[in-house]
Amino acid sequence: MHQCYLDLVTAGTASLMFEEAAPGELSAFKFTAVPLTQVVLEEGPSGRLDTTFRRSELTPAQLAERFPAARFSDTLTHRSKEDSELRLSVIEAVIPENGEFSYVALVEPSSVAVSEPLLLAEGSFASSPFVNFRWLKAPGENYGRSPVMKALPDIKTANKVVELVLKNASIAVTGMWQADDDGVINPATIKLVPGTIIPKAVGSAGLTPLQAPGRFDISELVLEQLRGRIRKALFVDQLGQINGPRMTATEVLERSAEMARILGATYGRLQAELLTPLVIRARAILARRGEIPDFAVDDRVIALKYKTPLARYQSQQDVQNTMLWLDTVKALGPEAMMAIDQAAAARWLGRALGVPGELIHEEPYAGALASGVGDLLAQGAIALAKDLGAADKSSVSSQAIEDLDSLSAEMSNVRV
């Protein structure tokens, strides 16, 4: 994944090959970062990069390991024994068709060992083995655009400024010299090394330094501006420099909110083109191996819920709005507080903040707690009657008993 992220932020598009590992391996999954120079991508009817053509070079041993069911010709087998470093061009194609993905792999014809296309594998997948995703895209384009593309003009300009600064620095260190053409000094034989004696004619000035016209202060100013724009385009200083002045908690929250707004569209695209296909492909592999039941992720029976920091940002905003509402209602007085279901609010805040489910009591516990409170109230009323001279509950009027039973029943239905 790390290699794919490098392609994503530099080229704007990345391709990840997600295969099933051989039985007996430590993991059921096998990931391969595919270089963009090997693939040609096209958008399918859904608008995603689900049509993939790949051309790679493999040795005969690698071919036999990856395609064990393929049948090689005698010429290719004999050639591979003679040359162990022989590399053959393999073309793979994945094309969406009728809800599935057709797959074909063959060896490209060459004059070395294969005179005609050699079929290696053919079939279909429930999910594409290639997961292609983009940073962002412009209308009408198949490939994505990256932050580095946005900062590329400033990067090239900064490199040129650095080149000129280094040239000026070399002139400032070694210096430029001028001399009178007096027929004595020969510039071709002068060596500016310690202890050198340079002859000059009588009355001539000899070697004199020439002042360099460049100004380092202007170049450094331009370079600093370019570097600042590059850092901003690559989101380097969104939360400030480590050695910079300390920020308040409010400033950190506001900068985090700004970064979430900037990356919101990018996160949505990565969720649709990377995370969801990744999970669906993993489910298909595990279901085919019989390790999990074969179920469908259709957002009805089973739906995916992402809990990355950017995905939790919206929940944090909802929590802040809810806390503000609770504080405002609390300031209105006790009557306004009766409109708040405090137990439900506490459970919602726990789920929004990612609190483990075993730490949150659901409604059945609340009902039992309310019932217990009602029983305690009834027992307290009976104890009060005893204090007033009643020997037991039978001495209390029937109306009082009915009132206590009604109170207990009502308290058992209260949501705490």
Q: Give the single-character DSSP code of 145.
A: B
Lowest mean pLDDT among 168-177, 303-312, 315-324: 303-312
Q: Please, which pLDDT band fits residue 40 given cuts at 50, 70 and 90?
A: very high
pLDDT band at 220 (very low <50, low <70, confident <90, very high): confident
Which amino acid, one-letter code, is at 66? R
Is 190's pLDDT higher than 80? no
Is pLDDT larger for residue 75 or for residue 226? 226
Q: How confident is the model at residue 202 (pLDDT cuts 50, 70, 90)?
A: confident
What would the two tokens of residue 300 be?
């009805």
Q: What is the mean pLDDT of residues 20-30?
A: 86
| 124-146 as b/e: b if 16+ CB within 10 A | ebebbbbbbbbbbbeeeeebbbb
DSSP H helical segments within 175-289, as ranges? 216-233, 249-262, 264-270, 276-288
Beta bridge partners of 208: 178
Please report which helix (H) or strand (E) contains residue 103, including its range.
strand 100-107
Whole-number Å distance between alpha carbons of 55 and 266:
29
The per-residue pLDDT for 18 is: 92
DSSP 116: S
Does residue 134 register a pLDDT over 60? yes
Give the per-residue pLDDT at 216. Answer: 63
- Output the CA torsion 140→142→148→152 (10° steps): -60
pLDDT at 38: 92
The yes-or-no verdict on residue 416 having pLDDT over 50 is no
Mean pLDDT along residues 27-36: 91
How high is the pLDDT of residue 58? Answer: 86
Q: What is the mean pLDDT of residues 131-159?
A: 91
Segment 398-402 shows an average pLDDT of 57
Confidence tier at 391 by pLDDT (50, 70, 90): very low
- Tell me the domain boundaries of the chain: 2-134, 149-264, 363-412
Q: Is the per-residue pLDDT at 396 higher than 70? A: no
State how far Cα 95 lies from the chain centre: 26
- Give me the amino acid identity at 252: V
Q: Are 36 and 6 in contact (CB under 8 A)?
A: no
The tens digit of pLDDT for each residue in 266-311 reads 888 888 889 889 998 999 899 888 888 888 887 777 888 777 666 6
> What residues have CB less than 8 Å from 51, skipping those under 6 apart?
41, 42, 43, 44, 94, 95, 96
**pLDDT above 70 covers what percent of the chain?**
80
Average pLDDT over residues 158-187: 80
Name the residue with higher pLDDT: 80 or 408: 80
- Measured CA to CA, the distance from residue 90 to residue 95 in angstroms comes to 17
Contact predicate 154/230, CB 8 Å: yes
pLDDT at residue 41 tops 90: yes
pLDDT tier for residue 111 given thresholds of 50, 70 and 90: low
For residue 398, name the pLDDT band (cuts at 50, 70, 90). low
For residue 74, pLDDT beyond 70: yes
pTM, full prediction: 0.67
Answer whether residue 393 shows pLDDT above 50: no
Confidence of residue 148 (pLDDT cuts 50, 70, 90): very high
- For the CA atoms of 19, 23, 27, 31, the dihedral, rounded to the nearest 10 degrees, stands at -20
pLDDT at 218 over 90: no
Mean pLDDT of the chain: 79
The pLDDT score that the predictor gives to residue 213 is 64
